[in-house]
Amino acid sequence: MKKWVPPDYKIHRHCFTGSYRVVKPLLELFPTMSVGFTAVLTCSSAQESWQAVREIPLERIVMESDAPHFLPRQVPRSIRQCAHPGLALHTVHKMARVKVLSLSHTLATLRENACRLCSL
């Protein structure tokens, strides 16, 4: 990527579930890169992703529903078989807790991030 992608190119690292160590070099090389997280973040086994969320500045994170996949952990499959964008609030709530931020601040910042990423 370093050879072919301009450093100011808008990059969205989709469905990130790895460690901060993996994404840190990319964040440093591409200052406009955003990292997307899904409802996988709500799983108790997502500790590595939680650490990445703690380390990545909120201004570099985007929220993904990845519907119909990745049903949030708090939603029983007996109630809903697949995910939809409205369930993303579960993930945002987890993200706010992990980063020790208010839900309203987290939501507002994630909205700004999505607008910035999608603008021309």
pLDDT tens digits, one per residue of 48-92: 999 999 999 999 999 998 777 777 777 767 777 788 788 889 899
What's the CA angle centered on 49, arms 47 and 50, to 5 degrees? Answer: 60
Catalogue the E-assigned strands of 1-120: 12-13, 34-37, 61-63
**pLDDT above 90 coverage of the chain, percent:** 72
Domains and CATH numbers, the chain: 12-118 (3.20.20.140)
What CA–CA distances, in Å, run from 44 to 37, 56, 76, 80? Answer: 15, 20, 15, 20
pTM score? 0.90
